[in-house]
Amino acid sequence: MRSYILTLNCPDRPGIVNAVTGALLEVGGNITESAQFGDADTQTFVLRTVFESDRDESAVGSALEDVEARVDGRIRVRPADRVPRVLIMVSRQDHCLLDLLHRRRTGDLPIDVPLVVSNHMDCADIASRYGVEYVHLPVTTDSKAAAEVELLALVETHRIDFVVLARYMQVLSNEVCRALAGRIINIHHSFLPGFKGPRPYHQAHARGVKLIGATAHYVTVDLDEGPIIEQDVARVSHADSPVELATIGRDVERMVLARAVRKHAEDRVFLIGAKTVVFP
Amino acid sequence: MRSYILTLNCPDRPGIVNAVTGALLEVGGNITESAQFGDADTQTFVLRTVFESDRDESAVGSALEDVEARVDGRIRVRPADRVPRVLIMVSRQDHCLLDLLHRRRTGDLPIDVPLVVSNHMDCADIASRYGVEYVHLPVTTDSKAAAEVELLALVETHRIDFVVLARYMQVLSNEVCRALAGRIINIHHSFLPGFKGPRPYHQAHARGVKLIGATAHYVTVDLDEGPIIEQDVARVSHADSPVELATIGRDVERMVLARAVRKHAEDRVFLIGAKTVVFP
Amino acid sequence: MRSYILTLNCPDRPGIVNAVTGALLEVGGNITESAQFGDADTQTFVLRTVFESDRDESAVGSALEDVEARVDGRIRVRPADRVPRVLIMVSRQDHCLLDLLHRRRTGDLPIDVPLVVSNHMDCADIASRYGVEYVHLPVTTDSKAAAEVELLALVETHRIDFVVLARYMQVLSNEVCRALAGRIINIHHSFLPGFKGPRPYHQAHARGVKLIGATAHYVTVDLDEGPIIEQDVARVSHADSPVELATIGRDVERMVLARAVRKHAEDRVFLIGAKTVVFP
Amino acid sequence: MRSYILTLNCPDRPGIVNAVTGALLEVGGNITESAQFGDADTQTFVLRTVFESDRDESAVGSALEDVEARVDGRIRVRPADRVPRVLIMVSRQDHCLLDLLHRRRTGDLPIDVPLVVSNHMDCADIASRYGVEYVHLPVTTDSKAAAEVELLALVETHRIDFVVLARYMQVLSNEVCRALAGRIINIHHSFLPGFKGPRPYHQAHARGVKLIGATAHYVTVDLDEGPIIEQDVARVSHADSPVELATIGRDVERMVLARAVRKHAEDRVFLIGAKTVVFP
């Protein structure tokens, strides 16, 4: 028996789940997990179903082709054990990178990481410890365009499923944002929509907030405006300097980013307009 | 169109969801919400589906009778707007009672409360403010048996769906626990399984814990051992006396109890052995 | 023995605590609680000390006069059991008002509430239940100026120490904000600085945030920009409508407001520029 | 100017803070942080004061000798930049060790770690990456006594200030517990006092709790009964297996342990009987 993850996105209407479960019965599918949501605003229906079957991938796929046509939507099925290939981008700060790579090693995160890309050399040592190739792509005003071309080429040649900006401090061009739409996750070190842009911990300190946060979101051409996947906060006090906020914040950042990466890697996140559906 | 809540509990096997959704299609059902869980330990499957249909309750029920037989389980369907009738029991402390009655009035809690029963008169005024009948059932060693007979009679005559012990400080007899099995919710003022029994805030103070909690659970004959529905905690410090722990704890108690009552009232809680499945 | 609360705000320099504790020794003071903070940005020092003494208020005050001059600051001492007089303003929503009045009755909140003022009649019943005078001050474009004059007169005649806007939906004029500077607390139903202004739950829903929050802050002439006293958040999901966000948010609002009112009532909050110091 | 941390533990009585601050004035001390607590149950007073002075350590110490006698207590002063030397013990799981060593490297944790001791070789690689000596001390029924002798010798020769059991799975003998009393911190993977002893995540799964936790505490001869320094929890659901509870729990464990180690390393933790005072 093999385990498969099915995801479906289609216009909402009666009969969808019946059609899908009917097709799964045909291939001897036994559902082990299922979650669904109908979005009232857009009349969109999304479904994530995990099932076991003794048929191979193409048999399963064929059985669902009919359904896809009937529900006028898009069905994807993949073996649960074929984990996504992730390219991680970092700058100087290493806490998110170390966290992701260690979770990957212990098996907590179901991803492969063939490549780390950075505009600095600071994190090369960590990548090397975890046996991951490290590509140094320096970014200057002059080199940025070429660096981005190379980045997209790396995504292509390494068959990358999605990109994670693990405290990557460069703004990507609109071209890259569009090329990787829905496949690139950023961690921003504030509780969005508060404190967009640079130096959010300094902004938080100046405003005197009593909680700081972090937000994992898909990258879009509008800086820090992309669909939010996960957020969390930590309590701070008047006594905390911006440096101490950053120290406290690093824990929130890495936890929030790890949760978002896991959700995306397990196909639990669906994009509906500018928002996400995230299944538990 | 009327909205219905369907709940199903049966042995896990392929085809259950297909069978249910097939029956719902027959009555023109449009699913608006659905959650399911297969418990690996017991091979039990539970399902909660909310759907809209223009058929009446008996038509819907008939359509599902066949399915019930096929899945060898138990299906219940009720109109979503037929809210459960709840009997609340209290002693002297009123914060949970006030909280439940106010949430009921504002529409936050989908319940009816025909009756408050207490071994004291302290909360009679609050019940009266919210227009709820208040029955004073004093409990002494001698009167306990008679009081419990009367309690069960009140449950019967008022067609009570479930009972909530909102800081009711008497231990119920095994007979009452059994008679109301799965239909009686208690709030215990500790993070179970820590600090069972009396005066948990004093126990917490003596142990020097850094968080205190509250636990909503179904009542069973084993005191404070029933299946847990909901728990939460609040941070405390060395500076907090047992009285201050109790003050902080009251907020946790009423929040946890309100959440548990809502979950149960919306048919989101399933009992599997000594544990619960609680759908979001 | 009587318990006193001393608060001090002065330029930071060596010897302040020694001077204060020296004066307290002169009046036989026994310190039971003390917290202090030196703000590096502004070189401001704040101190809150609770002490017991068998001297009366004027004797204690005299002993500290000298210190006040030496530290070039402002010292206030009041008996701990002389609780502040609070005027609560509400509009139609009653959950924060009920919460404050009930906490006041159970003794959780050390305040007196001689008066509730509202631009609507909706909450008159709750005020009456708790034996509090209710003043109906309707606000229209034409009547606003007169209503505010009356409000300030009520503050004066009832010797109000501070005002709490417990979901009062009118914007106060700059004159009122200035007249009550540092003595008026608002609860805003978002995690500021996100979602300022009207309908924050609708804004939160549109943005797709994964946590919603509430913020208690001092009112200033800049709407939703005043110094923050307390904040908290609650987890929400894609499935929550704006109405459900508001339901979840009400619990956060009342908890955050109650904590802020308690902190202010116990003289634990100090204003330094646009920020607060809040002692545990 | 050098920064010093002063800690004091003595019977509660008037004049203590005045005496201490008077002595600090003599050495030109400028207080930058101070926290105090009087425990009502035991009439014990504890104080932690951070101050700057241009005098050297012995001058500062001399100035405080008198005070120590007058308050009948115990005063310790150390330069704030002389960080404690910590010996970390681990078994097979590496997440807490990695976390502590990485926080030490980034400067988040003010400790030195001259030595990691383990009954297994699994974590040798991580210690080596961070340049820390790794001592393999296998523990069998026969070798346990000798291993403990060697452990205490290592504590001595490396001038270890305190020991951290970072998921060390062996029970230490009463002799070691007593020899290191107040200087040895353990992380237990449950919310104590719930689920003491082995396999707490399995216990938690069997009981069906809705939150799991971790507890950092001083080790005493009574297993999992030592004074609690820090605790926290994470939400779980019916769908989480014991393995998934352990994955979620690892994050709680390392956060709680890191906070406890920081608090202890900064002299913010005081033992009073079986409980701790932990200053923010």
Angle of the A95-106 helix axis to the A242-265 helix axis, nearest 10: 40
The two three-digit tokens of residue C38, written as one number: 């030196």
Please give the interface size between A and C, counted as residue pairs whose CB atoms are below 8 Å apart. Answer: 79
- Which residue's entry shows tokens 């010798």? D153
| Tens digit of each residue's pLDDT (9 = 90 or more) over C242-252 | 999 999 999 99
Q: What is the mean pLDDT of residues C130-138?
A: 97
Of B106, B231, B253, B81, whose CA–CA distance to C123 is shortest?
B106
What pLDDT sits at residue D14?
93
The two three-digit tokens of residue C223, written as one number: 């709407």
Chain C residue whose CA is closest to B128: C129
Between positions 58 and 87 of A, the ones with CB within 8 A of C are: none
Farthest CA pair distance, chain B = 63
Chain C residue whose CA is closest to D40: C32
Contact (Cβ atoms closer than 8 angstroms) between residue A229 and residue A264: yes
- Which residue's entry shows tokens 């005063």? D75
3-state DSSP call for residue D208?
coil
Average per-residue pLDDT for chain B: 97
- Parallel/antiparallel/unpaired status of strands D211-218 and D228-235: antiparallel
CATH of the structural domain B2-79, one choice from 3.30.70.270, 3.30.980.10, 3.30.70.260, 3.30.70.600: 3.30.70.260
Contact (Cβ atoms closer than 8 angstroms) between residue A123 and residue A101: no
Q: Which residue, among A36, A43, A47, would best test binding to B if mutated, counting the most B CBs under 10 Å from its CB? A: A36
3-state DSSP call for residue A182?
coil
φ/ψ of residue A184, rounded to 5: -140, 120
Let me know if C242 is exposed, middle or buried by CB neighbors in 10 A (0-12, 13-18, 19+). Answer: middle
**d(CA A35, nearest CA chain C) in Å:** 12
| Tens digit of each residue's pLDDT (9 = 90 or more) over C212-231 | 999 999 999 998 999 999 99
Between positions 223 and 252 of A, the ones with CB within 8 A of D are: 237, 239, 247, 250-251
Could you give the percent of chain C with pLDDT greater than 70?
100
3-state DSSP call for residue C73?
coil
| Tens digit of each residue's pLDDT (9 = 90 or more) over A211-227 | 999 999 999 999 899 99
φ/ψ of residue B26, rounded to 5: -60, -30
Q: What is the dihedral of CA A58, A61, A63, A68, to 10 degrees?
A: -160
For chain C, what's the residue count?
280
Q: What is the DSSP letter of C173?
A: P
**Catalytic annotation, residues of A:** 224
What pLDDT sits at residue A153?
98
For C83-135, give the secondary structure using H, E and C.
CCEEEEEECCCCHHHHHHHHHHHHCCCCCEEEEEEECCCCCHHHHHHCCCEEE
For D233-246, give the secondary structure using H, E and C.
EEECCCCCCHHHHH
- Residue D251's contacts (CB-CB under 8 Å, 6 or more residues apart) are A255, D234
What is the CATH class of C85-278? alpha beta
Between positions 19 and 48 of D, the ones with CB within 8 A of A are: 33
Least confident range from A228-232, B62-66, B132-136: namely: B62-66
Contact (Cβ atoms closer than 8 angstroms) between residue C166 and residue C90: yes
C-alpha B229 chain-centroid distance: 8
**Which pLDDT band holds residue C130 (cuts at 50, 70, 90)?**
very high
3-state DSSP call for residue B63?
helix
Chain D residue numbers touching C17 (CB-CB < 8 A): 17, 21, 31, 34
Contact (Cβ atoms closer than 8 angstroms) between residue C14 and residue D30: yes
- Asked if A211 and C230 come within 8 Å (Cβ–Cβ), the reply is no
The two three-digit tokens of residue A148, written as one number: 């981005």
- Asked if A38 and B24 come within 8 Å (Cβ–Cβ), the reply is no
Contact (Cβ atoms closer than 8 angstroms) between residue C232 and residue C252: yes
C161 is catalytic: no
* Nearest-angstrom CA–CA distance, D197 and D234: 20
- Which residue's entry shows tokens 């994530």? A48
Q: Exposure string (b/e) for A10-20, b if CB count within 10 Å is 16 or more?
A: bebebbbbbbb
Strand partners, D218: D185
- Parallel/antiparallel/unpaired status of strands B44-53 and B30-39: antiparallel
- Which residue's entry shows tokens 């300030």? C152
For residue D224, the tally of other CB atoms under 10 A from its CB is: 18
C-alpha A127 chain-centroid distance: 20
* Nearest-angstrom CA–CA distance, B193 and A115: 46
| Cis? peptide before D193, omega within 30° of 0 | yes
* Nearest-angstrom CA–CA distance, B261 and B196: 21
What pLDDT sits at residue D210?
98
Let me know if A153 is exposed, middle or buried by CB neighbors in 10 A (0-12, 13-18, 19+). Answer: exposed
- Asked if C211 and A193 come within 8 Å (Cβ–Cβ), the reply is no
Catalytic entry in D94, D99, D224, D267: D224
Q: Exposure string (b/e) for C158-172, b if CB count within 10 Å is 16 or more?
A: bebbbbbbbbbeeeb
For B105-141, give the secondary structure using H, E and C.
HHCCCCCEEEEEEECCCCCHHHHHHCCCEEEECCCCC
* Nearest-angstrom CA–CA distance, B213 and B203: 12
The two three-digit tokens of residue A52, written as one number: 């076991």
Chain D residue numbers touching C35 (CB-CB < 8 A): 35
What pLDDT sits at residue A226?
97
Q: Do domains A2-79 and A85-278 have the same CATH topology?
A: no
* Nearest-angstrom CA–CA distance, D137 and C221: 67
| Tens digit of each residue's pLDDT (9 = 90 or more) over C167-203 | 999 999 999 999 999 999 999 999 999 999 999 999 9
Q: Which chains touch B (3 or more CB pairs under 8 A)?
A: A, C, D
**Which pLDDT band holds residue A267 (cuts at 50, 70, 90)?**
very high
Q: Does B167 touch chain C (CB under 8 A)?
A: no
Please give the interface size between A and B, counted as residue pairs whose CB atoms are below 8 Å apart. Answer: 47
What pLDDT sits at residue A125?
97
C-alpha to C-alpha distances, A270 to A183, A264, C210, D234, nearest whole angstrom: 11, 9, 14, 25
Helix (H) or strand (E) holding B261: helix B242-265
**Which pLDDT band holds residue B142 (cuts at 50, 70, 90)?**
very high
* Nearest-angstrom CA–CA distance, A187 and A178: 18
* Nearest-angstrom CA–CA distance, C180 and C182: 6
Q: Is the dihedral of CA B65, B70, B76, B77 positive or negative?
A: negative
Chain A residue numbers touching D255 (CB-CB < 8 A): 251
Predicted complex ipTM: 0.95
Average per-residue pLDDT for chain A: 97
Q: Is the dihedral of CA D52, D53, D54, D59 positive or negative?
A: negative
* Nearest-angstrom CA–CA distance, B71 and C184: 62
* Nearest-angstrom CA–CA distance, A254 and B155: 52
Helix (H) or strand (E) holding A117: strand A112-118
Q: Which amino acid is present at A107?
A: G
For chain D (280 residues), the mean pLDDT of every run of 10, in chain order, is: 97 96 96 96 97 96 94 96 98 98 96 98 97 97 95 98 97 97 98 96 98 98 95 98 97 98 98 97
- Taking the domains of chain C in order of start, what are their residue ranges? 2-79, 85-278
Helix (H) or strand (E) holding D129: helix D124-129
Contact (Cβ atoms closer than 8 angstroms) between residue C34 and residue D36: yes
Contact (Cβ atoms closer than 8 angstroms) between residue D205 and residue D192: no
- Edge-first strand listing for the sheet containing A30-39: A74-79, A2-11, A44-53, A30-39, B30-39, B44-53, B2-11, B74-79
The C-alpha angle C250, C254, C260, rounded to 5 degrees, equals 145
Of C31, C34, C27, whose CA–CA distance to C52 is shortest?
C31
* Nearest-angstrom CA–CA distance, B99 and B261: 11
Q: Which chains touch D (3 or more CB pairs under 8 A)?
A: A, B, C
Chain D residue whose CA is closest to A243: D108
